Structure 1
Amino acid sequence: MPRGARERRAAILELASTSGLTSVEELSAAFGVTASTIRRDLAQLQSAGQLARTYGGAMALDGQLEASVRQRNGEAAGAKEAIARWAADQVRPGETILLDSGSTTTALARELAHRRDLTIVTTAITVLQELAHAADLRVECLGGSLRQLSQGFVGPLAEAALDRMSFDRAFLGADGVTAEHGICEADLEQTRLKELMAQRADRVYLLVHAAKLGHRPFRAHAPIGPEWTLVTDPGAETAATAPFHARGIDLVVVDRAHRAPASRAG
Structure 2
Amino acid sequence: MTNASQRITSEERQNRILDMLSRKGEVVVSELSTEFGVSAVTIRTDLTELEHEGKLKRIHGGAVPARELVVPSLPTRIRRNVRAKDAIGKAAAELVHDGETILVGSGSTTLAFIRSLDKKRDISIISDEPAAHTYIQQHLPNATPISTGGILGRGFHLYGPYLSASLVGTHVDKVFLGADGFERRLGFLAERQVTADAKKEFMKHASKVIILMDATKVGASRLFVPFAQPGNVDLVIMDTDPSDVVAEAARVDGGRARVVEVVRQTAGL
Q: What's the TM-score, normalizing by structure 2? A: 0.68
Aligned to 2:200: 195
**Alignment pair present for 1:253 and 2:251:** no
Which residue identity is paired with 2:131? Answer: T
User: Would you say the 8 A contact 1:207–1:231 is kept in 2?
Assistant: yes
8 Å CA contact 2:75–2:131 kept in 1: the answer is no
Task: Report matched runs for 1:1-266 at 5 Å.
Answer: 10-13=32-35, 44-45=61-62, 70-133=75-138, 134-149=140-155, 151-224=156-229, 225-234=231-240, 236-239=242-245, 241-247=247-253, 248-256=255-263
Contact 2:209 2:234 in 1 (8 A): yes
Q: Deviations over 1:201-251 (max 9, x none)?
A: 011101100111232122422122434312211263335643334332523
Take 2:263 and 2:79, find their aligned partners in 1: how far apart are those partners?
Answer: 18
Structure with the bigger RCO (C-alpha within 8 Å, sep 6+) is: 1
Contact 1:122–1:141 (Cα < 8 Å) also in 2: yes
Match of 1:157, as an amino acid? Y
SS at match of 2:61: helix
Answer yes or no: is the 8 Å Cα contact 1:227–1:250 preserved in 2: yes
Distance in 1, Cα, partners of 2:96 & 2:234? 15
RMSD (Å), alpha carbons: 3.3
- Tell me which residue corresponds to 2:7: none
Q: 1:129 to 1:113 in 2, by over 3 A?
A: farther
- Secondary structure of 1:108 counterpart: helix
How far apart are the structure 1 equivalents of 2:228 and 2:107? 18
How far is the alpha carbon of 1:127 from its aligned partner? 1.2
Q: TM-score, normalised by structure 1?
A: 0.68
Deviates most, 174-183 or 99-108:
174-183
For residues 48 and 137 of structure 1, what CA distance do their matches in structure 2 show? 31
Q: What is aligned with 1:22?
A: none
The unaligned stretches of length 5 or more in structure 1 are: 1-5, 16-42, 50-68
The amino acid of 1:199's aligned partner reads K
| Deviation for aligned residue 1:90 | 0.6
Aligned-residue identity in percent: 25
CA–CA distance in structure 1, aligned partners of residues 188 and 246 of structure 2: 15
Q: Deviations over 1:49-104 (max 9, x none)?
A: 9xxxxxxxxxxxxxxxxxxx845222211111111011000112222101111111
| Stretch of structure 1 that moved more, 177-186 or 164-173 | 177-186
Question: Hey, what's the Cα distance between the residues in 2 that align with 1:206 and 1:105?
Answer: 9
Shift of the 135–14 alpha-carbon distance from structure 1 to 2, 3 Å rule, reads same
Kept after mapping to 2: 8 A contact 1:186/1:220: yes
- Please state how far the C-alpha of 1:120 moved relative to its aligned partner: 0.9
In the TM superposition, what is the alpha-carbon distance from 1:116 to its structure 2 partner? Answer: 0.7
Moved more, 201-210 or 218-227: 218-227
Cα–Cα, structure 1 residues 110 and 14, in superposed 2: closer, same or farther, change >3 Å?
same
Listed as ranges, the gaps of 5+ residues in structure 2 are 1-27, 38-59, 66-73
Aligned pair count reads: 213
Shift of 1:126: 1.9
